[in-house]
Structure 1
């Protein structure tokens, strides 16, 4: 190791200076003072909820503080990224103690309950080590809310992640895979097999993911988050198209005032509540494929009015002035029908329950997923024996099968049925059913 002077330790690392806001600089670099400000802004984008336990909060703040010194030493980003993975387990432990309110109930192999006083998570480990189940006996079971239980083997990270899911603290079907990957990365950090070097981008992403996980454990979603985002705002949107399908206009409803139909050719118009904020560069990419009877858009989209003329749409909106709302798209339930050799597009449970008798035959799959296409691909893989699991959480994709059976079985538990919406589809909508290979 070469000994550097104090002045040398204060010199900015050129590798960090080349990490520009727009990407890696080729022939360009930031001034040291600009790089220091920028990297601190990156680390400060996400903050923790006020309910987060003090120990977890302090560990996270330490990481954000040290992150800024990557301007002087590029290797700090690797240390921050690695340690952030270790703090995930600390957050789970702190939340476990907080969640159970000082008393954890374990059930032994004969069904007897043991109430364990827990002030710190080390008390859980002490109980498990001192009371190992007899050889050949099943492991301890942990009492959850509403009478549910789960296997609790050694209280390590796998048990804690499973507990957080069972307790409903973590959500999102796509996040199942991300959470598994973070656990594997944490194990790699705890038991390394080689050298690795992170940059500020990788370290910042891990730090931001850590903030989202911590906030979600304490019941707070993250506005603009990658993993557990806060509900998304839906606007009142007008979509109009010429009857020959050659032209299409999509605008927010405010632009509808005093609009009238063109004189040269007829147009169709509908009013939706959808994710559409083009001024922010954020809009549902599948909105043009809207179909009122199936879930064809990336985010839930509701038909408010139509179809009809643009003139009538303007009059309806002027009278009703419908407002925007918020929608949470994680962990939606979709129903998918497989009949003969046709696989139908996903529908909402209430729409499936309202399906006419001649559209109820076949096998119905109730699937939990974040997006309708995730649910459809999951069922497609089941039907074509392409590897997805037909029951429970799938380890090969981002979906969970809740129920499989005839129509009355799949729709059981649907609290309320509503009339089917008017049958409306844009000229660019996908077929409602597709033929499956034998």
Structure 2
């Protein structure tokens, strides 16, 4: 190891200066230091997060801020963030159970473990050869190995981890953690380090019951506004906007409107599939609610004056949708309330109930099931 002078240790690492707000380029050391700190400045943990988890997270933020001086620190931040997830889960386990945990050994004998920390619980759990703990609202016995995968399963059973896309990421988190613990040398960029820190903050906050506004993994509920979707009588034009502006607009040509409650915020988060809205189907990215229509603008304005619908919030993780399969045709997903009102002629077939984060995810899933079933029947007929 080369011994460096203090001035050399304080010098900016040239590799860190390549990352700018606009992509790869070149920054001055002072600007790079300011930029890297601002990237993670908004990452904060909820006030009631366990102190041990909070201290570890603050260590990572401090290390990331010093990455301008030593590029390898970004790799350290990303790697330790993956290890810190297990620390957060352990702390949440202790906070959730308090001092006593009911466990069951391999012979189905029940024990009570009194713990002062997760390490204390882990040692006692091994001594009694624990195999199961109670999980979920029904408090049923579930296998539990007290390691990261067991903690992830426990957190999901307890509702502390949600989302179907996140469910598919949880095994990846375990493998990434194992790669850090048992892997080989690698180098990570500040972009990846910041993403790992951001994801870690979201997961930790959600473990303690807090969603993240505009989050990537555990977003806070989105605001739904009252929206007017219109189309011209000749079919050439479509439009969407706040319903409150209907009375203020000069209509070019004749339009027919429907009123919906949907995610719409020009310059902010807007449902990219809003113009695909179908009152019977879950065809939008975020849940949209049919209110009135179709009809002319004057009737839409009159309905708004009479009913004065209010905006609301929608949580789109783990939506429940129903998908119908009949005579080899897979229909668009629909929400249970819509399906309950279908005429009897449209109730035939096989129905699937699915939890999804996007309505159309259910369509892709059931199509895959139907295709697999068809291939199995074809293979059986050829056998």
Q: TM-score, normalised by structure 1?
A: 0.82
Could you say if the C-alpha distance between residues 299 and 346 of structure 1 is closer, same or farther in structure 2, counting changes exceeding 3 Å? same
How far residue 23 of structure 1 moved from its aligned partner, in angstroms, is 1.2
Moved more, 318-327 or 112-121: 318-327
1:208-246 Cα deviation digits (max 9, x unpaired):
000011001111111111000100111111111112321
* Runs of 5+ unmatched residues, structure 2: 375-383
Contact 2:113 2:125 in 1 (8 A): no
Does the residue aligned with 1:380 lie in a helix, a strand or coil?
helix
Q: Who is 2:298 aligned against?
A: 311
Does the residue aligned with 2:235 lie in a helix, a strand or coil?
coil
Q: Who is 1:269 aligned against?
A: 257
How far residue 261 of structure 1 moved from its aligned partner, in angstroms, is 4.5
The alignment status of 1:286 with 2:286, answered yes or no, reads no
The alignment status of 1:177 with 2:168, answered yes or no, reads yes
Q: Name which of 104, 121, 126 aligns with 1:124.
A: 121
Q: Who is 1:229 aligned against?
A: 219
Does the residue aligned with 1:385 lie in a helix, a strand or coil?
helix
Q: Who is 1:142 aligned against?
A: 133
The alignment status of 1:63 with 2:65, answered yes or no, reads no
How far residue 101 of structure 1 moved from its aligned partner, in angstroms, is 1.2
How far residue 285 of structure 1 moved from its aligned partner, in angstroms, is 1.0
Structure 1 segments, 4+ long, off by >6 Å, are none
Q: Who is 1:422 aligned against?
A: none
How far residue 11 of structure 1 moved from its aligned partner, in angstroms, is 1.0
Tell me the number of residue pairs that the alignment of Structure 1 and Structure 2 aligns: 374
Contact 2:264 2:270 in 1 (8 A): yes
Structural mapping, 1:4-403, within 5 Å: 4-25=4-25, 29-132=26-129, 140-144=131-135, 145-153=137-145, 155-192=146-183, 194-259=184-249, 261-262=251-252, 265-280=253-268, 282-385=269-372
1:308-332 Cα deviation digits (max 9, x unpaired):
1122223333444433211000001
How far residue 386 of structure 1 moved from its aligned partner, in angstroms, is 7.7
Could you say if the C-alpha distance between residues 31 and 131 of structure 1 is closer, same or farther in structure 2, counting changes exceeding 3 Å? same
Does the residue aligned with 2:267 lie in a helix, a strand or coil?
helix
For residues 364 and 219 of structure 2, the distance between their equivalents in structure 1, rounded to whole angstroms, comes to 23
Does the residue aligned with 2:338 lie in a helix, a strand or coil?
helix
How far residue 181 of structure 1 moved from its aligned partner, in angstroms, is 1.2
RMSD: 1.8
For residues 328 and 177 of structure 2, the distance between their equivalents in structure 1, rounded to whole angstroms, comes to 45
Contact 2:105 2:128 in 1 (8 A): no
Moved more, 321-330 or 161-170: 321-330
How far residue 102 of structure 1 moved from its aligned partner, in angstroms, is 1.0
Answer 1 or 2: which has greater helix percent. Answer: 2
How far residue 42 of structure 1 moved from its aligned partner, in angstroms, is 1.1
Q: TM-score, normalised by structure 2?
A: 0.94
Does the residue aligned with 1:279 lie in a helix, a strand or coil?
coil
Does the residue aligned with 1:127 lie in a helix, a strand or coil?
helix
Contact 2:258 2:293 in 1 (8 A): yes
Could you say if the C-alpha distance between residues 254 and 244 of structure 1 is closer, same or farther in structure 2, counting changes exceeding 3 Å? same
Contact 1:257 1:318 in 2 (8 A): no
